[in-house]
Amino acid sequence: MNPINAPLPRQFLRKLRRVVGRRNLLTEPHQLYAHAYDATNKIYQPQAVVRITEREQVSKVLRLATEYGIPVVPRGAGSGFSGGSLPAKGGVVLLLDRLKRILEISPERRESVVEPGVITVELQQAVEEQGLFYPPDPASLKFCTLGGNYAENASGPRCVSYGVTADWVKSALVALPSGEVIDTAEDPCLTALFAASEGTLGVALELRLHLIDKPPASATLRARFPSMVAAAKAVSAIIAAGLTPAKLEFMDAETLRRVAEYRNEEPPLPNEAVLLIELDGTADSVDGQIPRVEQICQQEEAFEVLHATDAVGQERLWELRRASSGAIAGLKPLKVNEDVVVPIGRLPEIVATIDGLRTELDLLIPVFGHAGDGNLHVNIMCDPADKSEMTRVDEALDRLFTAVIDLGGTLSGEHGVGLSKQPFIERELSPAVIALSRRIKQRFDPVGILNPGKQLPTLEK
Ligand SMILES: Cc1cc2nc3c(=O)[nH]c(=O)nc-3n(C[C@H](O)[C@H](O)[C@H](O)COP(=O)(O)OP(=O)(O)OC[C@H]3O[C@@H](n4cnc5c(N)ncnc54)[C@H](O)[C@@H]3O)c2cc1C
């Protein structure tokens, strides 16, 4: 491999320029800096950026990189929360956002074929115009790409009933580090293997996605609870009752307080928690489920349950949740956003752990997320310039991750391992699984050029 601090070989750059054209090989400092970040607080500057305009270029770039031992880091929109698109070992960022054609939408086959740089919401809107539905809905859907969603196995509020991105990818065309292109339709196990591989095994060039009919009716309920424990119990009760909400989101008291301040509204009760529940299906099934959900919430101490079945009313109920990120964004310079998951029945325990971290470590930690699948967004608000606070943040993360593993959970529900969770991955995966993953990576990428330094613990300690 090219040593991390060594300049890229001139001959390599010359050949790269020949592949993508002069205009699409970016090496000016400002161009490199513009691709040195994602949604984490980390900055890793690439040595070159290649803007891919035709998919055939990807194989050629990968072949060259393998020949010269140069790291290549695929990048969609760069919206990741775990550093996946950052060139941790230098090398070339492979910019895929220009491959953005929706190649086919087939109502007959209920599928769509897309290039990896298509923005998620653009596919959703295009299929909905034809009465079809692509459910995966990361909150970043207005700017993230479908290639990035596949590589991170992105999820979102709807995933409680519809599943995650991998459940909607039928097959993919993938360029391997050797430059060969494979169609995973030949072996569906490969489709699953590339999902969540975070650009470490291959580069997705085309995705064949599964679609369904758009559900004709929906309803939204918003329930207020006197405590997070009561809300967590309601989540378990709703799932245990066999109801399958399309979305089941929660907000804790800290988040509600900040949203109330932000929107200039009455503050919530001191320990209040809110659940937002969306039902969808036929009009009859939705109408039938509303009173059952209301009843369960009331049995679990909800003191207010509102519902709406029209688009405007539903949006009004969702406004509270949609305001969460904006309301907390300015509280501190940095948001350390962890997406831990615990089994639904253990939600009250993890909530108690987070309460303990807040008080014992004196940290501001608003929590909200996808309660229906036990996925919590634990947002530790902090200031990187405050050394003492950052030491407490490190301790909070250590204690949070330990609690999550002890409760039978997982460190990342949707944001991926990347660089952020890599130091902790050995707590979750056994040495045997890590060794096997290393062997798989070695088979796909013998020289180790694709997104090196991610996911698996580094061997040099
Ligand atoms: C405000 C905000 C809200 C978010 N909400 C959610 C959420 O609700 N749910 C969720 O899951 N995530 C969420 N995210 C995280 C992020 O948007 C997702 O991980 C998304 O899938 C990343 O897509 P991207 O195009 O930005 O990929 P990038 O960040 O560019 O890349 C992510 C990873 O995918 C790899 N990659 C990208 N394209 C390809 C390709 N074609 N082939 C192979 N590898 C590739 C990269 O190497 C990297 O490892 C959020 C982020 C932000 C900033």
Distance 304 CA to ligand 1 centre (A): 36
Mutational test site, ligand 1, from 101, 140, 203, 208, max ligand atoms within 8 Å of CB: 140
pLDDT tens, position by position, 409-432: 999 999 999 999 998 999 999 999
Q: Residue 175: CB within 6 Å of ligand 1?
A: no
Q: Residue 456: CB within 6 Å of ligand 1?
A: no
Q: Residue 140: CB within 6 Å of ligand 1?
A: yes
Residue 428 neighbours by CB under 8 Å, 6+ apart:
405, 410, 411
For residue 81, which atom of ligand 1 is closest to its CA?
Answer: 15
Q: Is 455 helix (H, G, I), strand (E, B) or coil?
A: coil
Q: Residue 254: CB within 6 Å of ligand 1?
A: no
Q: Residue 369: CB within 6 Å of ligand 1?
A: no
Confidence at residue 117, expressed as pLDDT on a 0 to 100 scale: 98
pLDDT tens, position by position, 32-86: 999 999 998 899 999 999 999 999 999 999 999 999 999 999 999 999 999 999 9
Mean pLDDT estimate for the chain: 94
Residue type for 274, please?
V
Q: Contact, 102 vs 125, CB < 8 A? A: no
Q: Is 400 helix (H, G, I), strand (E, B) or coil?
A: helix
Q: Residue 194: CB within 6 Å of ligand 1?
A: no
CA-closest residue to ligand 1 atom 53: 79
Residue 113, strand partner residues: 104, 208
Residue 154 neighbours by CB under 8 Å, 6+ apart:
136, 138, 140, 144, 148, 164, 165, 414
Q: Residue 148: CB within 6 Å of ligand 1?
A: yes
Share of the chain above pLDDT 90, in %: 88
For residue 146, which atom of ligand 1 is closest to its CA?
Answer: 25
Confidence at residue 322, expressed as pLDDT on a 0 to 100 scale: 85
Mutational test site, ligand 1, from 57, 61, 85, 421, max ligand atoms within 8 Å of CB: 85
Structure tokens at 306: 């509102």
Q: Residue 80: CB within 6 Å of ligand 1?
A: yes
What gap in Å lies between CA 432 and CA 438, rounded to an integer? 10
Q: In what order do the strands lie in the sheet with 102-106?
A: 102-106, 111-114, 203-210, 169-175, 181-183
Confidence at residue 120, expressed as pLDDT on a 0 to 100 scale: 97
Nearest Cα residue to 158 out of 134, 178, 187 = 134
69: left (phi over 0), alpha (psi -120 to 50) or beta: left
Mutational test site, ligand 1, from 75, 122, 370, 451, max ligand atoms within 8 Å of CB: 75
pLDDT tens, position by position, 256-274: 999 999 999 999 999 999 9
Q: Contact, 91 vs 73, CB < 8 A? A: yes
Distance 151 CA to ligand 1 centre (A): 7
For residue 370, which atom of ligand 1 is closest to its CA?
Answer: 8
Q: Contact, 378 vs 367, CB < 8 A? A: yes
Whether the CA torsion 322, 375, 396, 226 is positive or negative: it is positive
Q: Residue 373: CB within 6 Å of ligand 1?
A: no
Confidence at residue 111, expressed as pLDDT on a 0 to 100 scale: 98
Structure tokens at 88: 């941790």
If one compares 321 and 20, the residue with the highest pLDDT of the two is 20
Strands 212-213 and 203-210: unpaired
pLDDT tens, position by position, 308-363: 999 999 999 999 888 998 899 889 999 999 999 999 888 888 988 999 999 999 99
For residue 416, which atom of ligand 1 is closest to its CA?
Answer: 19
Of the options 3.30.470.20, 3.40.50.300, 3.10.20.30, 3.30.465.10, the CATH number for the domain spanning 102-213: 3.30.465.10
Backbone angles phi, psi at 248, to 5 degrees: -150, 95
Strands 304-308 and 375-382: unpaired
For residue 84, which atom of ligand 1 is closest to its CA?
Answer: 49
Q: 217-406 belongs to which homologous superfamily?
A: FAD-linked oxidase, cap domain/gating helix (3.40.462.40)
| Stretch 228-255: mean pLDDT | 92
Q: How far apart are the first and last CA of the chain?
A: 18
Residue 347 neighbours by CB under 8 Å, 6+ apart:
232, 235, 236, 371, 374, 376
Mutational test site, ligand 1, from 42, 99, 115, 152, max ligand atoms within 8 Å of CB: 152
Distance 145 CA to ligand 1 centre (A): 7
Q: Contact, 160 vs 248, CB < 8 A? A: yes
According to CATH, where is 3.40.462.40 located in the chain? 217-406
Strands 92-95 and 72-75: parallel
Q: Is 359 helix (H, G, I), strand (E, B) or coil?
A: helix
Query: CA of 454: how far to CAs of 37, 64, 185, 402, 457, in Å?
Result: 15, 21, 27, 21, 8
What gap in Å lies between CA 300 and CA 396, rounded to an integer? 30
Q: Residue 206: CB within 6 Å of ligand 1?
A: no
459 pLDDT more than 70:
no
According to CATH, where is 3.30.465.10 located in the chain? 102-213
Share of the chain above pLDDT 70, in %: 99
For residue 75, which atom of ligand 1 is closest to its CA?
Answer: 30
For residue 39, which atom of ligand 1 is closest to its CA?
Answer: 53
Distance 335 CA to ligand 1 centre (A): 17
Q: Residue 116: CB within 6 Å of ligand 1?
A: yes
CA-closest residue to ligand 1 atom 21: 149
Distance 27 CA to ligand 1 centre (A): 24
